Amino acid sequence: MEYLIILIGAVFVNNIVLSQFLGICPFLGVSNKVSTSVGMSGAVLFVMTIATTVTYLLHQYVLVPMGLDYLRTITFILVIAALVQMVEIMLKKVSPPLYQALGVFLPLITTNCAVLGVAILALGLEDGNLLKAVFFAISSSAGFALALIVFASIREFLELADIPEGMKGVPINLLVAGLLSLAFLGFAGLV
């Protein structure tokens, strides 16, 4: 039940993109095609899960015992940055097509607030433990994926629409995101 609440909370109610405002940049940037957004979601899922695991352990077993929780930000981001770069280099070799598709965006994951944000939020879970933190990370990335993929499919559709000149590009994307977020308000109070 607890896990169900985390899942529903992270995916629908407090969707990291639509209501927490984390990971907006890739949300707006990598969402012009459904196929790339699926790839990006995969990458985020992967990085977010590993990053949260590592940072949670780091926090629990190193920072807190040593009284260094003020180093949280810097250590977390260092871990994430190194991790992303590692993934990037590996991907280039292991799966060039995926790299082609995500190439430019992988570095974006480093500067993706969602990864760091979730790592930090995971520390604050009620009765937290490692498993819960990791599950939270997975749920959050599922929420990210949901928002991203739906958004990408809408953008693909809008490519065929006659958007007024002034609205094209940034404004219309923001507007769609806003209305999406408005619709998701309906889930308020579920958890």
Ligand X SMILES: Cc1cc2nc3c(=O)[nH]c(=O)nc-3n(C[C@H](O)[C@H](O)[C@H](O)COP(=O)(O)O)c2cc1C
Task: Map the footprint of ligand X across residues 171-190, applying CB under 6 A.
Answer: 185, 188-189
- Distance between CA atoms of 100 and 86, rounded to whole angstroms? 16
- Distance between CA atoms of 165 and 168, rounded to whole angstroms? 6
Q: Single out the segment in contact with other proteins by CB under 8 A; choices: 43-51, 107-115, 133-141.
A: 107-115
Min separation Cβ 135 and other proteins, Å: 20
When binding is defined by CB under 8 A, the residue of 36, 42, 134, 156 that contacts other proteins is: 156
Min separation Cβ 22 and ligand X, Å: 19
Contacts to ligand X from residues 25-64, by CB under 6 A: none
DSSP per-residue string spanning 69-92: GGGHHHHHHHHHHHHHHHHHHHHH
> How many other CB atoms are found less than 10 A from the CB of residue 127?
6
Q: Given the complex with ligand X, which of 89 and 182 has the nearer CB atom? A: 182
* Residues near ligand X (CB under 6 A), total: 3
How much helix, strand and coil, in percent to the nearest 5, is found in the chain? 80, 0, 20
* Residues near other proteins (CB under 8 A), total: 80
CA distances from 100 to 82, 96, 152 (A): 20, 6, 18
92 binds, among ligand X, other proteins, none (CB under 5 to 8 A by kind): other proteins
Contacts to ligand X from residues 127-166, by CB under 6 A: none
Distance of CA 126 to the CA centre of its chain: 21
Contacts to other proteins from residues 31-60, by CB under 8 A: 34
Using CB positions, name the residue nearest to ligand X.
188
Residue that has been written with the tokens 């292991």 in this structure:
94
Instruction: Look at residues 143, 110, 144, 140 and name the one whose alpha carbon lies nearest to residue 125.
Output: 140
Q: Given the complex with other proteins, which of 80 and 138 has the nearer CB atom? A: 80
Q: Would you tell me which residues interact with ligand X (CB under 6 A)? A: 185, 188-189
